[in-house]
Structure 1
Amino acid sequence: MFPEFTLCYSRLPERFYERFEPVPVREPHLVAFNRPLAEALGFDLAAFDAEEAAVWFAGNVVPRGAEPLAQAYAGHQFGGFVPRLGDGRAVLLGEVTDHDGRLRDIQLKGAGRTPFSRGGDGRSPLGPVLREYLVSEAMHAMGIPATRALAAVTTGERVMRGIPEPGAILTRVASSHIRVGTFQYFAARGDIEGVRELAGHVIERHYPELESKQGGERYLGLLEAVQARQAALIAKWMGVGFIHGVMNTDNTTISGETIDFGPCAFMEQYDPQMVFSSIDEGGRYAYSNQPWIAQWNLARLAETLLPLIDDDSDKAVERATEMLQRFPVQYEAEWLGVMRAKLGLEQPQPGDKALIEALLATMHRGRADFTLSFRQLAAAAENPEAEAALVALFERPEEIAGWLEEWRARLAQEALNESERAQRMRWVNPAFIPRNHRVQQALTAAMDENDFGPFETLLQVVTHPFDDQPGREEFTLPAEPTERVFRTFCGT
């Protein structure tokens, strides 16, 4: 059933990983399978059998050609450096080449205790597996680079997370699982050749346009390329009100994909200081901090590359610092592009940033729902009578009414007609997101009642985020006061 593996990471020196066979589980059962993704990866769906697939995706049988391993990495976690982290509950089976010719990692998450587990059990509860499945697929559907969910399997075993919970394993697909923390692992050991070899691997896999560069320019170019992707990624997060929750350097990918969906959430009521993670007590990874945390993480990457950028450490620091100082400008350009599109603006004007910031400030004071506000704005772009539904979202209706006058004056400078503008706005302003309370309801039904119907319905809804879905209007609504979920948790 599996496509042919094109092994890549396992050909690196053995200090990059620990070989590790997934630990078999008692009673694997397939509860979710992403057929379109499987087809794109080259799986033989004609030979698909759910019972057999459960055995594969649980790790009870290693697919032919796979060479399972746990990757080594380090990381700054909430600002504190941990020199040895690594895959504590995940195993990389290997890589496959998809139908577009791209290498994709296939990893089992929750596959048992590895040499990097640090006393953990190496397993995952069902809830975090289903959360990652829902949110990662929703992100992909919204056009935001993210790891993908291929399958979810229950194990027939319990894991202890305060109380016994049903166990599960997620099959995750990524462009790669290489992180800023992977570079830090070798740098922390003074292993400059390890950093060099890792950088060469990353360039070959993700940034082949840098292959022709020589010397320090090659590695400065790598920093520049990763920085550009991170600026674009975080701008997209901000555009949909996404809060990652654990933006540690070990959760910052070199490929520019969103990875690890533990204590993440989408904002409802707009608040730039919003935090959902149960472990982010100081608000380090609050919504408004995400761009600057990305820059901080990039600085940690730059530190690992300094010996490769220039033999003169002062010159290396100078060149890397100059590059990092460009990040705010790069990010703002990306963010303005995202937000202009959300407001229906095609031609940049000097006052656009002030107009955008005025809307966000009005949303904050008016305690308005982030997603609904922008979706209703798209309706108002086509039909002024739809403004009433938008204004009704705000506790201070007079403020948003005043802003709408400024917005319409700005739209008058654009060439698009109302219908085309509204359609373009609908393509970037989702109607459906994985709202916290809906996710929790789906997880609770699956964990407590073995009922996956709510999960399957929610998955179908959030993977068509921009479509009008008649009969599913309740999925667009924020939580009632008694349904609100203010804290989300990591599954480790």
Structure 2
Amino acid sequence: MKLSEVTLSHHYADLGDAFGRQIAPTPFAHPHLIDINPVVIQLLGINSAEASNPDWAKLGCGAKLFNGSRPFAMKYTGHQFGVYNPDLGDGRALLLGEIEKAGRRWELHLKGAGQTPYSRFGDGRAVLRSTIREYLAGEALNGLGIRSTRALSIVGSDEPVTREHIERGAMLIRVAESHVRFGHFEYLFYTKQLQAQQQLIGDICRRFLPGTHGLSAGEQAEAMLRFTTQRSAELVAGWQAEGFAHGVLNTDNMSIIGDTFDYGPYAFLDDYDPTFICNHSDHTGRYAFEQQPGVVLWNLNALAHALSGFVSVEALRDCLEQFQPQVSHAYAERMRAKLGLAVEEEGDQALCAELLQLLQQSQADYARFFRALAHYRGERPAQALRECIATAQQDALEHWLEHYDRRLAREHSDFRARNRTMLATNPKYILRNYLAQKVIEAAEGGDYQPLRTLRQLLQTPFDEHPQHETWACAPPESGKRIPLSCSS
């Protein structure tokens, strides 16, 4: 499909005025294309040759609209840091419409498009820094096999935008199968628009739960909550296994289909620290790394309450009680894969917990340790692993390796097969904050090649890419714990 042939539909906007407002974007006067994501172009069914089309700069900032586009600001609310806020909505983003490809519907969402009825006191803009971070984060999570929204393009400008200091405005076209949040259901519940809420439940079920066709509104609402609970459990298990901290898990930042959504002050762990807080505005540690499963459950409780007009308390409670076992199961599966274990044993949880305690006490680099473990074949000394562990913890490492060796022996583990599996499970390249900062600083200076290089590495994070070894290095001390705010 040529770019000129792309025509958008509007299933969500057509639901009605209860769900938002149609509004035109505020384009940049002098836009320029910074990057276009060839993988997402292919996902949408657009010819790869169209990546060089000069129209992307205008399309990516709203100066030109896709055929049929009717930009729409979505209305929702949500709990922010545990407090309900009724004044939320798409304050700087517009749903441009949807593309249908191979039976799937992809929504295009323009972020940084200017003020909407829900902007409150904001300027409706995004800056290059935060736009690059979201662009890369979607590729990083997707590359690791964790569900996430993605982005099609970044467009820059010379428009000044004030955050902590004066920066340049940028826009991003975000791509997702659905932009519906927990907060959409909270908004309709707290404003007593239950008919509209039933309409939205039915729309989600038609798209993602076709087996619910013909069921009552209550049965559909319960099925949707079970679906969202399962997806959310798998999502947070992936975050915990891969060392990803979201940073601001408000209910308005939670996707009803279980995508990682609305990137702000996120971070991947460098040194393993379960108490890590990546958002410098999170003074109580509500969204610390180790708190994420509990916070996601809290958010699911808020969603369940918003569905209480349709689902009984007993059914809601039963749905939510499934969450912890689902998280534990999904997390155990991921960690066995990271450890190269082909079969499940009763003591695997203890083996994993012992390792994580060792990594925490040693302040070991999380990703680099697991990548080194993929090459371990029982040698002594295990030099590559010892180099990841502090001197004071070397004996503890030997003790753990003895347990690990016995565990591998019990399943007659073959090194070559295990090595292949672990190298395809433990990434060499992750989106460390110091790398993101390096890319941002280059882009702010007009050099976009580092952005493209890192994007490509994150799309194939398990491959060796020997020509890019420096991108796999552990950060310097100055590159750890870079302060991040919600404007990140």
Question: TM-score, structure 1 length as denominator?
Answer: 0.95
In structure 1, which of residues 6, 16, 37 is the aligned counterpart of residue 9 of structure 2? 6
Q: Is the 8 A contact 2:74 2:90 kept in 1?
A: yes
Q: Is the 8 A contact 1:132 1:261 kept in 2?
A: yes
CA positional deviation for 1:473: 2.3
Distance 1:292 1:269, change over 3 A: same
Q: 1:166-186: per-residue Cα shift (whole Å, max 9, x none)? A: 110001100110000010010
1-structure distance, mates of 2:33, 2:170: 10
In structure 2, which of residues 150, 161, 167 is the aligned counterpart of residue 159 of structure 1? 161
Question: Superposition pairs for residues 53-452 of structure 1, below 5 Å?
Answer: 53-98=56-101, 100-309=102-311, 316-380=312-376, 382=377, 384=379, 387-395=382-390, 396-447=393-444, 449-452=445-448
CA positional deviation for 1:394: 1.0
Q: 1:103-145: per-residue Cα shift (whole Å, max 9, x none)? A: 0100110000111000100000100001111111111111111
In structure 1, which of residues 443, 462, 465 is the aligned counterpart of residue 461 of structure 2? 465
In structure 1, stretches of 5+ residues that fail to align are 310-315
Distance 1:386 1:74, change over 3 A: farther
Q: Is the 8 A contact 1:369 1:478 kept in 2?
A: yes
CA positional deviation for 1:156: 2.2
Q: Is the 8 A contact 2:340 2:419 kept in 1?
A: yes
Q: Is the 8 A contact 2:87 2:120 kept in 1?
A: no
Distance 1:384 1:295, change over 3 A: same
CA positional deviation for 1:210: 2.3
Distance 1:30 1:50, change over 3 A: farther
Report which stretch shifted further, 233-242 or 459-468.
Answer: 459-468
Q: Is the 8 A contact 2:434 2:482 kept in 1?
A: no
Secondary structure in structure 2 of the residue aligned to 1:256:
coil
1-structure distance, mates of 2:11, 2:342: 42
CA positional deviation for 1:192: 1.2
Secondary structure in structure 2 of the residue aligned to 1:441:
helix
2-structure distance, mates of 1:406, 1:485: 33
Give the counterpart letter for 1:32 in structure 2. D
Residue 43 of structure 1 is matched in structure 2 by 46
In structure 1, which of residues 414, 435, 453 is the aligned counterpart of residue 449 of structure 2? 453
Q: 1:371-400: per-residue Cα shift (whole Å, max 9, x none)? A: 0111111111x4636821112211111111
1-structure distance, mates of 2:155, 2:380: 48
Q: Is the 8 A contact 1:373 1:393 kept in 2?
A: yes
Give the counterpart letter for 1:10 in structure 2. A
In structure 2, stretches of 5+ residues that fail to align are none
4+ aligned runs moved over 6 Å, structure 1: none
Secondary structure in structure 2 of the residue aligned to 1:487:
coil
Question: TM-score, structure 2 length as denominator?
Answer: 0.96
Secondary structure in structure 2 of the residue aligned to 1:353:
helix
CA positional deviation for 1:46: 4.3
2-structure distance, mates of 1:328, 1:162: 39
Secondary structure in structure 2 of the residue aligned to 1:285:
coil
2-structure distance, mates of 1:49, 1:361: 50
CA positional deviation for 1:299: 0.6
Secondary structure in structure 2 of the residue aligned to 1:51:
coil
Report which stretch shifted further, 404-413 or 48-57.
Answer: 48-57
1-structure distance, mates of 2:478, 2:60: 37
Distance 1:47 1:324, change over 3 A: closer
Q: Is the 8 A contact 1:232 1:331 kept in 2?
A: yes
CA positional deviation for 1:428: 1.2
1-structure distance, mates of 2:233, 2:434: 30
- Please report the RMSD computed on the Cα atoms of aligned residues, expressed in angstroms: 1.5
Secondary structure in structure 1 of the residue aligned to 2:118:
coil
Distance 1:249 1:194, change over 3 A: same
Report which stretch shifted further, 273-282 or 225-234.
Answer: 273-282
2-structure distance, mates of 1:49, 1:336: 44
Q: Is the 8 A contact 2:155 2:170 kept in 1?
A: yes
In structure 2, which of residues 477, 480, 483 is the aligned counterpart of residue 481 of structure 1? 477
Report which stretch shifted further, 82-91 or 50-59.
Answer: 50-59
Q: 1:340-377: per-residue Cα shift (whole Å, max 9, x none)? A: 11111121111111111111011001111110111111
2-structure distance, mates of 1:259, 1:134: 13
Give the total of aligned pairs.
483
Distance 1:435 1:427, change over 3 A: same
Secondary structure in structure 2 of the residue aligned to 1:307:
coil
Q: Is the 8 A contact 2:378 2:405 kept in 1?
A: no
